[in-house]
Structure 1
């Protein structure tokens, strides 16, 4: 039977939904029921897609822990990084920020209406916040870097983003609803950097600045996170502008790399 282009595209979309559902659990195994709930696909459809993905090495399965991203996903990620090089380019400023502030610094990448943490560097201050780890996937607007990315979108995009993430935020992030996020967007636009005052985990605060490409599109953010006593207004005012400067410098390096590839 010949598959129509529309049916083929639908299959690709569903396959990516399954992979994103697995990836969203930060390396922890997930069940078939979890994937079905996250994707809103039927159980037989999810099972069929998982079997195909496992055959290609894109998904792995443990009897005890469930489904994981497979080795082929890692291989493709390494290859993609050779082209985009964001991990390599961003690692130096992230390390520099962590050394200067003494707390944890991050580079997160925008993925449509979400962000994915790519890099974490810890400073020398002994008390850490562990909310954000490499691989953590969050709705845009959640966390300091997420606020910065959301605020950098135009108003129509913000509305689409909030609509797309409404159910997830209602379930997982009760302090990051539309009524919470819109004032943070306004504050970020006024200051130039986003501030998270413990909305994800009480006592874990963050500050973030947006990173754009040469077409002025939002591609990610630089951010720091610390216990609340370490990010009171004096340090917000110190490190917010620092993040903005580092983000601008990183944008220049990314744009230079993009021009070189052309």
Structure 2
């Protein structure tokens, strides 16, 4: 293989990954070829060719009715395989089931992926609960929602501010999350040891989350509960925080800081 062929191959891979990221950011609604061209800076022919290849490999799905691209089913398979083994998901599965049984609420496990917080597992209550991340694999920028706040608040101050600066444009979609409001929420989360949303981001849906701290690796994720906001009162808050902290305290010491899956999320 010539040097130019190698460079072209790397460039093609970079472009494919960029398009996957853009489609992922669009959420469950998907996004169009026109939008992807505008956001990526690629011309229509190149963009369309790469998208078609990703569709053929089931990494993307093309919805003909609205001419949108969404993430494909193969990514779910990849995600499930990546989550197996001695990582967070496997360690916390029994805890998620216990929390669902003890509270009747939706229990969620989040992990950090660079500037995002990703849902790597969730055990749903008997009611279909709307959440910021949607299903397993969904992501939100760090700073949005209790699960991500519980992670962001326990990073180093300099790292926090750098992440918030990079995420600012994405967080601007949520006008209630001003710079001042986020700083206040981060300080409150650090002081009380948990993050809470009484229903400000999704009306009627509340959430509580605690950080998962691993010795030698720092904060690697969060464990939380999502529920209808009318259920939230001081007694429920105290009980849910205690249950979440109890599970984390029992499991975190069993997680190796040398686990490559933890390092990959930092």
Moved more, 198-207 or 70-79: 70-79
| TM-score (normalizing by structure 1) | 0.83
| Secondary structure in structure 2 of the residue aligned to 1:199 | strand
Q: What is the match of residue 107 of structure 1?
A: 109
Distance 2:9 2:153 in 1: 35
Query: Which digits, 9 at most, give the CA deviation of each residue in 1:106-140, with x for residues without a partner?
Result: 1122221111222222346x6x6412432332111
Distance 1:118 1:85 in 2: 11
- Give 2:251's aligned residue: 250
Change (3 A) 1:55 1:210: same
Instruction: Measure how far apart 1:191 and its partner are.
Output: 0.7
Query: What is the correspondence of 1:23-62 to structure 2 with a 5 Å cutoff?
Result: 23-36=24-37, 39-44=39-44, 45-62=46-63
Is there any run of 5+ residues in structure 1 with no aligned partner, and where?
none
CA distance 1:161–1:5, shift in 2 (3 Å): farther
Cα RMSD between the aligned structures?
Answer: 2.9
Whether contact under 8 Å (2:210, 2:223) holds in the other structure is: yes
TM-score when normalising by structure 2: 0.82
- The count of residues paired between Structure 1 and Structure 2 equals 255
Q: Deviations over 1:63-99 (max 9, x none)?
A: 1242232344233323322345433322211121122
- Displacement of 1:222 after TM fit? 0.6
Instruction: Please say if 1:152 is aligned against 2:154.
Output: yes
Residue in 2 aligned with 1:190? 191
User: Residue 200 of structure 2: SS of its match in structure 1?
Assistant: coil
Distance across 2 between alignment mates of 1:87 and 1:248: 16
Aligned CA distance change for structure 1 residues 84 and 55 (closer, same or farther; 3 Å): farther
**Structure 2: which 5+ residue stretches go unaligned?**
261-266
Match of 2:65 in 1: 64
Q: How far apart are the structure 1 equivalents of 2:162 and 2:8?
A: 25
Once structures 1 and 2 are overlaid, which stretch shifts more, 9-18 or 105-114? Answer: 9-18
Deviation at 1:104, TM superposition (A): 1.6
Q: Kindly tell me: are residues 195 and 74 of structure 1, through their superposed partners in 2, closer, same or farther at Cα, counting changes over 3 Å?
A: closer
Q: Partner residue of 1:79?
A: 81
TM-aligned CA deviation for residue 23 of structure 1: 2.5
